A and B are shown apart, each in its own frame.
Chain A
């Protein structure tokens, strides 16, 4: 077949993949993820397990070692079909912690330790580089099978083009966003499509071989029997080498979980853990279909192709030798799909690990600053680090491919990678199941496994050193696997037993093993608002302005503080750290929150969480410390309460004096002016004006007396509630009108969200109206903005209580006065006195208490901000005349 046809087909296929990935990304961006999130897409993406090594290599493997190739399919089958619920738990825990890679998972479990993650990244990169080289080689070789090009070095050009194209694809679709959940819809969809191509190609070839070249299944079985007679190992491998088979099944069962690309598609890209319900049967089915025709192709290929043909290329050379060029082209595309999907997914997974566990920590360390502002530009750095890492990973594979001269040694690299990544499994499984597992244990296990794997498996496979001799009768590969994994597990268990976990480890251990959300540490303290702002600034730089703001707003709403920065509650900090972990990895996120949030890690408070399962001595010491902190806190609260009491009692003592003062002031004017009225020579204009002043001052006196009377009734608790149902919208309308009708103050631009105001409230509507009028009038009197504006926000809470926030854009109330504004005569000494005696807010508070609600001042909102909270129903009181609710306001539609 002409090379240009092949190249054109290839390019067309690549363009198709770009289009599919692009379309899927766009659909995801528009929120149309329904079909992208289908469990079938998820299951197909899992087939990234079937790399070129299995696509081409399975037939070669079968030609050389018979049915042994099936172990590579059996391991995953056992794991998925037999333990899908276990995988589901893994996915659930990992998603809960926003884990970004297998290294991140283990690091997160063992106290968010970055060195541990860096070590696992090292294993992953070491194991994957030759494996990626193998994929590039398979593409080169399959090109060669078409072109009959003899010189393998000339194929370096092919490998380079493929590598460059894959790097481009991966960078384009793998680093589009830094979104916290790290999902890549475009890539996953393209890979799911490639999975279909792989399967169709392989099945088509199988059908052609069984029914086209052989005479149907019966004939094939006969041929297999004949071949088995010549070479008993072909189908009796299990009986001949049980140790090797078992080891291979175990290793491939582990690798299907721990290989970076598998972890990426199975855990990181999973929308939720329920996908595994379908994958549990569908993925083994896929594997079965892929393996069904392996042995027939191998046996028929051995018979028909000339001796010395490369069995790894039987899948291509068989149809080519029969002149089936179109079928060969399809098979070529299948192999191309297998190779490219593996490289792309591995590159994404490894690049995340390299950037999150090597480059970002290094960057943070190099740019550490005392003010904790080191998040600057981090978002951009992370993306660039990831792109660089993709280039490095794919480039490394290509360099390795060139250096190894395209030798057959690469064929063994699949198993080498499997056994390498298997070394993280003891720490992973132990971490998920056993609370006693510790970081020291994980280091010991992973470290031991890494060293033994290097010495026993990896170095010999690249030609350094030799496979050590095992006793007669022991298969070297099985021996190496058992030895490395065994020593790894033993070191992990032993050192976990003799070492103590630190608090972060315990907390994480608890969360991982029980698969529950942990309540995070109490890291509040310091200037809350400033810290929240710096956290927002940091998140902005990482996620971009809008997503960060959305997250903070949603958190604030969840705390019942809509429109404001959330409090730095443990729950909020934990959620923020998880989200950040999705972008920069668990350990880094933990360090960043610690630095910006001002805390250094876990405080005494979290030890309460993990108490009861710790060594008694440590426990006791910490309990003492907790008690001491508790004592200090109580003492501080007492002191604060005392200070407030003193201040209040001073006020209370002078209450009579204040009443007297407030009464005497209008009386002074009244008396003076009424005497002046008696002057015979007083001009008529003055007479009228003075009479007006007397009238006004008399009114002021009356209001003061009314307020005093109102307050004393409210305070004595003898208030009668006149409960009615009303539309809050109408009440706000009336309050705004009433407040505007009073002469004092300037007019406002009032912002209201009318639809939310249409809620029914069951309360004493006149009393509520009184409170609303008071707050709005105060805003009119005191708001000092050049263009006064007022916002009214109404919110119905899930318990059907209602919150009304009234906020102006003035300079608000001094922080040191906020605690006193609800006290009687608090306005005294206020520079901005504007009539009234300073009883309004005290009355409001008494009214809201009587209504079963509350009125509070919301600090730090720019202007003066009050929140009126109203319960669903007022408290039942014998005196309340609630028996005849009369609709009040009327007119509006209620959204009860």
Chain B
């Protein structure tokens, strides 16, 4: 597989991005990080990750908009890419369902929660 990206993390906050990348890399995944919502869909198309970990509040394009764009892509494989939505607003599961994400995780989260959710989505 080599440099193949397993997980694309889209998160604008440097510290959170670093934490998530560190945790998931330790689990053995190839993790790529971008910070700008505007380039999210292009990156997904280019890197074809198995999972997208997506922050809800992003500069230029919000997580929910990115999700809508992603689900509307003509390539059915890409459009069905698994998405884990991270949100700093209370009801993560409800928000994730409303936006069409596969799962939601509220900030702040326990690292085990993150590992478990990602592990489930990657299999």
Contacts and interface: CB of A to CB of B under 8 A. Distances in A.
Interface in B49-103: 57, 59-60, 88-90
Contacts of A671: 108-110
A829 B58 CA distance: 7
A516 interface: no
Interface in B12-48: 12-13, 15-16, 18-20, 22-23, 36
Given A661-B88, A830-B59, A668 B108 contact: yes
B111 A672 contact: yes
A829 B108 contact: no
Contacts of A665: 13, 16, 88, 107
Interface string A629-665: 0000000000000000000000000000100110011
A660 B107 contact: no
B60 A672 contact: no
A359 B7 CA distance: 79
Contacts of B90: 660
Contacts of B107: 664-665, 667-668
A672 B19 contact: yes
A697 B13 CA distance: 11
Contacts of B89: 657, 660-661
A752 B110 CA distance: 51
Nearest to B37: A831
B88 A660 contact: yes
Contacts of A666: 15
Nearest to A661: B88
Contacts of A686: 22
Contacts of A828: 57
Contacts of B108: 664, 667-668, 670-672
Contacts of A669: 13, 15-16, 18-19
A831 B59 CA distance: 5
A696 interface: yes
A230 interface: no
B111 A676 contact: yes
Contacts of A661: 57, 88-89
A833 B111 contact: no
Interface string A163-192: 000000000000000000000000000000
A841 B111 CA distance: 36
Nearest to B114: A672
Nearest to A654: B89
Interface residues of A, number: 25
B59 A676 contact: no
Q: Is the interface of A mostly helix, strand, loop or mixed?
A: helix
B16 A675 contact: no
A676 B88 contact: no
A244 B15 CA distance: 105
Most interface-central of A670, A686, A831, A833 (chain B CB within 10 A)? A831
Given A667-B108, A671-B109, A676 B19 contact: yes
A537 interface: no
Contacts of B57: 661, 828
B15 A673 contact: yes
Nearest to A694: B15
Contact of B22 (A668, A676, A833): A676
A669 B23 CA distance: 12
B88 to A, nearest CB: 4
B114 to A, nearest CB: 8
A638 B15 CA distance: 45
A688 to B, nearest CB: 14
Interface in A813-863: 828-833
Contacts of B19: 668-669, 672-673, 676, 693
Contacts of A668: 13, 16, 19, 88, 107-109
B57 to A, nearest CB: 7
A670 B16 CA distance: 9
Contacts of B16: 665, 668-669, 672
A664 B88 contact: yes
A347 B79 CA distance: 86
Most interface-central of B13, B15, B18, B111 (chain A CB within 10 A)? B15
A697 B12 contact: no
A671 B107 CA distance: 10
Contacts of A664: 88, 107-108
A693 to B, nearest CB: 5
Nearest to A693: B15
A828 B88 CA distance: 14
Nearest to B19: A672
B95 to A, nearest CB: 12
Contact of B59 (A673, A693, A829): A829
A757 B73 CA distance: 59
A669 to B, nearest CB: 4
Nearest to B55: A665
Contact of A696 (B15, B36, B111): B15
Contacts of A832: 59
Contacts of B36: 831
B18 to A, nearest CB: 7
B111 A675 contact: yes
A668 B14 CA distance: 12
A672 B22 CA distance: 10
B112 to A, nearest CB: 8
B107 to A, nearest CB: 4
A785 to B, nearest CB: 20
Contacts of A657: 89
Contact of A675 (B13, B88, B110): B110
A635 to B, nearest CB: 35
A833 B23 contact: no
B20 A672 contact: yes
Given A660-B88, A664-B88, A665-B13, A693 B18 contact: yes
A660 B23 CA distance: 25
Nearest to B111: A675
A661 B92 CA distance: 12
Nearest to B86: A668
A831 B57 CA distance: 11
A129 to B, nearest CB: 76
A669 B17 CA distance: 9
Nearest to B56: A661
Interface string A673-706: 1011000000000100000010011000000000
A209 B69 CA distance: 111
Nearest to B22: A676
Contacts of A696: 15
A524 B123 CA distance: 68
Most interface-central of B12, B16, B19, B36 (chain A CB within 10 A)? B19
Contacts of B20: 672
Contact of A833 (B59, B88, B109, B110): B59
Interface in A710-744: none
A225 to B, nearest CB: 109
Most interface-central of A660, A661, A666, A668 (chain B CB within 10 A)? A668
Interface in A580-633: none
Contacts of B22: 676, 686
A16 B80 CA distance: 98
Contacts of A675: 110-111
B23 A672 contact: yes
A789 B12 CA distance: 28
A676 B16 CA distance: 13
A504 to B, nearest CB: 54
Nearest to A667: B108
Contacts of A676: 19, 22-23, 111
21 contacts: A657-B89, A660-B88, A661-B57, A664-B107, A666-B15, A667-B107, A668-B13, A668-B88, A668-B107, A669-B13, A669-B16, A671-B109, A672-B19, A672-B108, A673-B15, A675-B111, A693-B19, A697-B15, A828-B57, A831-B59, A833-B12
* Complex A-B, nearest 6 residue pairs according to Cβ-Cβ distance, in ascending order: A669-B15, A672-B19, A664-B88, A668-B108, A668-B107, A671-B108
Given A669-B16, A669-B19, A675-B111, 8 more contacts: A657-B89, A665-B13, A666-B15, A668-B13, A669-B15, A676-B19, A697-B15, A831-B60
